[in-house]
Copies of this chain bind each other. A is one copy, B any other.
């Protein structure tokens, strides 16, 4: 560190060539005498030369970096990942793999406070060729501010899509329809209950709408949705309202389903014998319950990969109409719907 950091100039001098030649040698460019190449590479080796990414980025006008900005809602004290984190991990992995194939690295940054998302997004965007905004980390202020470069909003609500902002979401409707279909056609349930999510969640809205539509389409009565906010607690609290007991209760997410199952167990009501319970999201815990939770799974890695694909596509041609991608969800049939474990 005391010794000066070597630059292209040092390498050039040592190799007895010009900096231009060094640059060519390092970017495996076209015409270079093999001997020259060899000399440069050896000088690089001997000097322990590392290219300066900033300088490169400055001239080449691109960083070969794609950014991901998200909200960190996890418990900082816990080493165990909570569910939102597992979701993010999946997206990150999907992004990294897709980016790798295209020669990009992934820059990740998170904030706890949604209000800080804009600053973080700007900070990340300034160091990357494109950025993915995840869920609540995609306030409109950030979207507006960043849309000079490719932006993909994942699982968020993007009001302004007359711009060049692409979106990736999951097919909540398809998943919910499959779930209800399963309950009705496989198990013959006809009296369905519904435990809803917060009104300001696009996911919650789409799931409820799909539920209502599907149930109606099957000629069954649509229940009044029980209020919930996606927490285990409201799931638990919903139990008393379940009377008379329906054949099955569809919960807008897994956490509430789990809370409900707990409350049911406390009251001696058996799942799925007395009532079936199903969720949405496929969080880790659900797989390990007794009975294991039947639910709908989101394709985390494909979401990340799709975001990268959209980013790169727009990097090629900026003037594309905005894409709104819907990735398919998959029904995870387990025990809580009445299927054999």
Contacts and interface: CB of A to CB of B under 8 A. Distances in A.
A334 B262 CA distance: 23
A300 B80 CA distance: 9
Interface in A51-70: 51-58, 63, 65, 67
Contacts of A52: 58, 126
B93 A105 contact: no
Interface stretch (A30-38, A143-151, A211-219, A222-230): A143-151
B105 A108 contact: yes
A328 interface: no
A63 B96 contact: no
A76 interface: yes
A333 interface: no
Interface stretch (A117-125, A182-190, A251-259): A117-125
B5 A148 contact: yes
Interface of chain A, main secondary structure: mixed
- Please tell me the size bucket of the interface on A: 35 or more
A100 interface: yes
A217 to B, nearest CB: 30
B50 A148 contact: yes
Interface string A261-303: 0000000000000000000000010001000000001011110
Interface string A172-206: 00000000000000000000000000000000000
A105 B105 contact: no
A224 to B, nearest CB: 35
Nearest to A48: B148
A332 B221 CA distance: 49
Nearest to A106: B108
Nearest to A90: B79
Interface of A: 1-2, 5, 48, 50-58, 63, 65, 67, 72, 74, 76, 79, 81, 85, 89-90, 92-93, 96-97, 100, 105-111, 122-128, 144-149, 164, 284, 288, 297, 299-302, 318-319
9 contacts: A51-B126, A65-B127, A89-B92, A89-B93, A96-B109, A96-B110, A97-B110, A105-B107, A107-B108
